[in-house]
Chains A and B, each alone.
Chain A
């Protein structure tokens, strides 16, 4: 079964909120709701019954002892906090064979945010790339917050990639913000800049028992290098230019790219990071579903939430 819509088509839809909803609904259509119920609430205190309270919460044992009606009050368990990290560096603006990587990342992160808020969890956003501008949306769980977050995300995506700041700084910032409270951190990046530093920071986050998922975004042209004829390549992050015959360098380039991807995958696996190599021409629904399935597989204590997993529905 083919899941999802072509990202290029999806990009033409209206606001980011709508796109996020389309993605989530597209991804989740036909799937069963989670069978886990009630485990997310915990007894907090007794309250004297007043009309309107649910009878099922009346503590009949207390009534037997004290002959008064008490109702059990439950406290919802601590919410899952999800930090979305968007690499908005200049290299993410590349879109050779599909939509630009930053747009794809925006769609994917918007869908995740939508899903998280649907689950009444908290979601925050941190965009990195341009050292001069800090884009941070603190984690909240309200619907209004979702709209704010998506608005900020849309602004970052629309502005396009800028700067060459590594996601490592943003991740360090999250480490400080989350402190001891465990969080799920979703990073969308091409990892082209200072990947070693980023990987080290990701490993540190894992060591702090945060759950980390990485969407490694690669454009199809970056994978296949389908260029021909005399070509001048210009860097997106620097003033470097290179006039070259692509045929002469293709084999060398592809070998280096394959080595880079293998290195990323291996380092992520070593660090226990949930790693997804995402081609930007694959449907966002597919990416979202892969992420959800991976989180489901990992479960509590294995990289998933301690007490709540990212649930379907």
Chain B
């Protein structure tokens, strides 16, 4: 131990002051010769001893306090060997990048790794001194980043203490980029980035974050020699008809991210009940699929399930959730307006294939195709006769290139739609807009006008360049939720001929769901009573466009059919990752509430839900089941099992392999890694000052007693 101002130690002599005062005070005690001393002596044993003890304690406390003042003024310090980076004190700009991805919840010696990172960051913050301008950047994907450097170290310390692992993987590159931006705006000459935590390879992208003139990078990653991790990286659920109609098969992908072979026990839980267990042996760096076959509980059409493995040091990726639902079949009546003997030339060739891919039972749709003439079977007069069609047996009717129907048939169809049916109308060469205007308006959201042909007069070379494309679709609408924002599967489709639309009809809630590049409507939706109508302004085969040969056609058709039938659930719906945005169809709901695994969530009502076909829920912060509770127009509040969804962690974050130094940005002014060990000076006067305060407090208490 040494002293920065050893002359101040002379002041230690001040401890003689309280001793002298004590002795003088003792001599100055009044002397009384007293006859009844025996009465006092009886209490002497208690009080005199207590008094003497108090006096001595007071003397001790005062003497130590006097000495402590002198010693603190002498600024004592000690040196200690410590692991970690050497930190220079003084004015500078520093960014502490902390890995708070879910990998930071990795437990080492009974403590999550983020605690060590936090301690290390606090130590660095202390050593930087109050003149350093500092910012803390969390490296988890999607984390909010600070906008400026600050000298408010108390707030930074609080931030570090409150740091908790996120449920998202690391995006270290983004964090480093932000750090470089913050430091670039600083006027300090010394600029340093401390990268603290598990610097995993998966968090680093191949991007140049800064050049040679960038800040100095110090990596603090004192990870143990081995960090084994096994995770459930994927979970699919499919129907398993072999064990009955309620049979489902769960395929879990289990990955070993360690260089040593291991064996784990996998457990399937359905609605929090353990259903099956199995052991999985994994070689080094191996991924294996484990299949569980089970039946869903009776009287349940939809439930949550999960596959978990026996716990390791990183628990968050040991369990993966899935939503398993029994799908309601959508019954579709296809009306072919242009039947052909050559199958692929038939108006319904692509539509039938899209609605029943592979013509399998598990496609979720039940299709019946008729010609426009056979539609006469829906008329009341046909009841009981051969060829009679009962519309109640169908959820959706598709009129594909069907010539204008008679007013009677339109009336029957309109009544059926009003009572909850869904109709999709698509034009074609056999559709006469004028005839449609006369009879078909009760089924349409807008009247039809003459079609436009973009290829008219064009050479074969110009044909494709003149084609229209789908743009501006309602991404939040249930029909478009399966598509990513750019959706090349839809946007690449070429439309050569479309029908233009005229004035709106006597329908409600009309909405254009998609438009073409020329601004014309592509898909229009409206409500008729309790039913819905969809108008597609081009054909459902390849006559006017090449959409049917694009991958987007199948989901577009399937989603449209399900939307018209108001049956959105599907088996093993999309696997949402933590932090992703989930679109939820609102249907007729007046209020919709989403509750996450920690029972927190959000409620949507009033303006947030009115007039919207779907809402987006963004607070998918934790993995697990998110329940949806909805209130309909009657005020009845029910848990909407069909809307419930699950959120899982991004399996990319489970790979803890360290990033090689070559992947990290080059350090601007120093070495890229921290020195293994260094000697540093620890100033002790702060502790002495604190002790002095405590001593004064103790003195005050003793005096009061």
Contact = CB atoms under 8 A, between A and B. Distances in A.
Interface string A229-261: 111111111101011110011001100110010
- Residue with the highest number of chain A CB atoms closer than 10 Å, among B25, B33, B50: B33
A240 B44 CA distance: 11
A281 interface: no
Interface stretch (B35-43, B130-138, B616-624): B35-43
Nearest to A252: B43
Contacts of B34: 94, 96, 233-236
A244 B26 CA distance: 10
A235 B52 CA distance: 19
A235 B29 contact: no
A74 interface: no
Contacts of A242: 37, 40-41, 44, 48
Contacts of A166: none
A13 interface: no
Interface string A19-40: 0000000000000000000000
B35 A260 contact: no
B703 interface: no
Interface string B619-638: 00000000000000000000
A234 B33 contact: yes
Interface in A52-107: 91-94, 96, 101
Given A231-B29, A231-B30, A232-B30, A244 B44 contact: yes
A211 interface: no
Nearest to B705: A248
Interface in A219-237: 219, 222, 227, 229-237
B669 interface: no
A216 to B, nearest CB: 13
B690 interface: no
Interface in A180-202: 190, 192
Given A227-B32, A244-B47, A256 B41 contact: no
Given A192-B36, A242-B40, A243-B26, A249 B47 contact: yes
Task: Name the prevailing secondary structure of the B interface residues.
Answer: helix
B47 A94 contact: no
Contacts of A238: 37
Interface in B324-370: none
A193 to B, nearest CB: 9
Interface string B7-46: 0000000000000000001101111111111111111100
Contacts of B40: 233, 242, 244, 249, 253
Contacts of A93: 35
Contacts of A237: 35
Contacts of B37: 233-236, 238, 240, 242
A12 to B, nearest CB: 23
B30 A91 contact: no
A252 B31 contact: no
Nearest to B34: A233
A211 B687 CA distance: 78
B298 to A, nearest CB: 80
A93 B30 CA distance: 19
Nearest to A89: B35
Nearest to A234: B33
B35 A91 contact: yes
Given A235-B37, A240-B37, A257-B36, A230 B43 contact: no
Interface string B171-212: 000000000000000000000000000000000000000000
Given A101-B35, A229-B29, A230-B30, 19 more contacts: A91-B36, A222-B36, A230-B25, A230-B26, A230-B28, A231-B32, A234-B34, A235-B37, A236-B34, A236-B35, A237-B35, A238-B37, A240-B37, A242-B41, A242-B44, A244-B47, A249-B40, A249-B47, A253-B40
* Across the A-B interface, the 6 shortest Cβ-Cβ residue pairs: A94-B35, A91-B35, A235-B37, A252-B43, A230-B29, A256-B39
